[in-house]
Amino acid sequence: MELIEVRNLTKRYGSLKALDKVDLKIPEGRIIGLLGKNGAGKSTLMRCILGFLKFDGEIDIMGERVNHHKESIHNLIAFIPDVSSLDDRLTVQQTIDYVASLNESWNAVTAGRLLSRSDLPLNQKVGNLSKGMKTKLYLLITLSIDVKILLLDEPTLGLDIVFRKEFFNTILGEYFDETKTIIISTHQVEEVEQILQDIIFIDEGKIILQEDIAELKNQYSLISVQSNRKEELEKLNPMLITHTLGKVNAIVGSDVQIEGAEYSRPSLSDLFVAKVGGSNE
């Protein structure tokens, strides 16, 4: 079953095309990574899905057409943008009470469990919390709402590695099951690579690729040879050539064989650079 269907989605900011005829189907029960360079259209795509931006084209969320912002959408989708978007003027307790009262599907048991595990100071103003604490609060209020889709837009930006790991572990442990879908837009693809099932590459407002990660990786191999055998690799017309200490690596089709080479599966960031080009993010 498709939870989100996007057809011919185009978004312009003046003369700039932020999204260009995007077609997308987001199935149920998947963890999907949305990968693109800065300004590729990741955030714009998420904001269009939520109806925060005006656009041309069609978006259906669980059969409901979205052509402008509808509050009912938030009964189906929870959204975590950059964690500094919480309201600094409220205390932690007031923020929890506020979200709990507005969301009919608020799960007090989950909230209580997440709260007891965190060391959130309930009477402290959100503005006085560290970024890590804000992340915990955002997770608590988002994961305590029973929704089908979770959109994460660069949620761990500016967080240290401990909080980033904790963030994704909490999401997997507390939220995900086979009836729910998570879409994660992030720059730190290496950190989420292990939890992602599908990947979407977006570049210059266009969807370059949408595929099951396991299938994608099966299509390609990362071949490593000594630096002096670079010409051999180049003859294979590889998607990407990179250099490591004393070695040359190339992404090629999985059926390509070279004598004496080391074979491994390419990483998502390698595949992204190979498909999209530009610097390795």
Partner 1 sequence: MNKFKTLIKKDWIISKKTLLMPFWITAGFYLLIILGIVIAYYKGDIQSNLFDFPVDSPINAISYIANLSVVGLPGLMSIIFIIMLMQGALNEDIRRNCELFHRSQPVSIWLRTGSKFYVGLLGNWIVLFLIALFTFIVVNIILATIHQFDFTTAISGMLQAFSAFVKTGLIIGSLTFFCSAIFKDKAFLKGLSILVAVHLLFLIFNNLFGWNLPLPLSYLMKLMIIDTEKNILVGIDEFEALNLIKNAWNSILFNWKTLYQVLFSGALFAGATLIYKNKEIK
Residues that bind partner 1 (CB under 8 A): 47, 50, 52-54, 68-69, 71-75, 78-79, 81, 84-90, 94, 97-99, 101-104
| SS3 at position 108 | helix
Pick 90 or 208: Cβ nearer partner 1? 90
Q: Is the dihedral of CA 113, 129, 195, 176 positive or negative?
A: positive
| Beta strands at 77-80 and 149-153: parallel, antiparallel or unpaired | parallel
**d(C-alpha 281, C-alpha 270), whole Å:** 9
**d(C-alpha 99, C-alpha 139), whole Å:** 12
Least CB distance from residue 148 to partner 1, whole Å? 13
Least CB distance from residue 101 to partner 1, whole Å? 4
Pick 84 or 188: Cβ nearer partner 1? 84
198-203, strands of its sheet edge to edge: 77-80, 149-153, 181-185, 31-36, 198-203, 206-212
Transcribe 135-172 into DSSP letters: HHHHHHHHHTB--SEEEEESTTTT--HHHHHHHHHHHH
Pick 48 or 268: Cβ nearer partner 1? 48
Pick 150 or 273: Cβ nearer partner 1? 150
Least CB distance from residue 74 to partner 1, whole Å? 4
Pick 79 or 220: Cβ nearer partner 1? 79
Least CB distance from residue 244 to partner 1, whole Å? 40
Least CB distance from residue 258 to partner 1, whole Å? 49
Pick 106 or 256: Cβ nearer partner 1? 106
Helix (H) or strand (E) holding 19: strand 16-27
Pick 75 or 267: Cβ nearer partner 1? 75
Q: Which pair of structure tokens corresponds to residue 36?
A: 């693109």
CB atoms within 10 A of CB 231: 8
Least CB distance from residue 174 to partner 1, whole Å? 19
Least CB distance from residue 89 to partner 1, whole Å? 4
Separation of CA 88 from chain center? 25
Q: How many residues does the chain have?
A: 281
